């Protein structure tokens, strides 16, 4: 009897844990390919609803020279065979967000560093940022080809065909947060 009761309790906890995992927000990256009222389509396959509580932020392009010591950045990088990091995207955030250094998108060759700028110097390999966060720091080369922007409040009017988006949505397909950039032609 006690064994049966324990099995039921374990089953209830397992189902609750599975339900919590199943409802975790989903991340989607791609290009807006269609718009229809409160729905956008990303890469012709993912349909996402926009609600009254959907947060929209815009990646306003800036120059690397606009970034100063003390700014908080999110830098997406690729890791070379020697472990050196090369930025593909540099985003200045209005406030610190998830500081640290970690793999990005589940890939060993990509990283995300959310940290404060300590220094920016001209190195032999290009412009180099030194970023620090609690427990560590990273040096990242920023090539001319890296996308550099700052996040500002966005509007639905910026969600147009050709615009790159990075968004999170719930299990029902409702966008929680949409980061949108200028359309790529």
- Residue 36 backbone phi and psi in degrees, to 5: -150, 95
Q: What's the pLDDT tens digit per position in 72-127?
A: 999 999 999 999 999 999 999 988 988 999 998 777 889 999 999 998 887 666 68
Q: Which domain holds residue 124?
A: 63-149
Tell me, yes or no, whether 19 lies in a domain. no
Tell me whether residue 177 is in a domain.
yes
- What is the phi-psi region of residue 55: left when phi exceeds 0, alpha when psi lies from -120 to 50, beta otherwise? beta
Q: How confident is the model at residue 4 (pLDDT cuts 50, 70, 90)?
A: low
* Domain identity same for 130 and 166: no
H/E element, 66: none
- Report the b/e string of 86-114 with b at 16+ CB within 10 A: bbebbbbeeeeeebebeebeeeeebbbbb
């Amino acid at each position: 009897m006690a064994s049966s009761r324990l099995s039921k309790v374990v089953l209830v906890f397992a189902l609750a844990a599975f339900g919590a995992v199943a409802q975790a927000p989903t991340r989607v990256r791609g290009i807006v390919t269609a718009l229809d009222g409160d729905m956008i389509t990303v890469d012709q396959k993912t349909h996402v609803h926009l609600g009254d509580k959907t947060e929209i932020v815009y990646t306003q392009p800036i120059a690397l020279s606009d970034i100063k010591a003390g700014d908080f950045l999110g830098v997406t990088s690729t890791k070379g065979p020697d472990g050196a990091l090369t930025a593909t995207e540099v985003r200045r955030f209005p406030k610190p967000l998830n500081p640290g250094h970690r793999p990005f998108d589940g890939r060993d060759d990509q990283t995300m560093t959310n940290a404060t700028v300590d220094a920016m110097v001209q190195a032999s390999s290009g412009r180099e940022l030194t970023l620090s966060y609690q427990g560590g720091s990273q040096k990242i080369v920023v090539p001319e080809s890296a996308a550099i922007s700052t996040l500002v409040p966005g509007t639905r009017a910026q969600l147009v065909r050709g615009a790159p988006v990075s968004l999170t949505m719930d299990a029902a397909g409702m966008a929680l947060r949409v980061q949108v950039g200028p359309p790529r032609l």
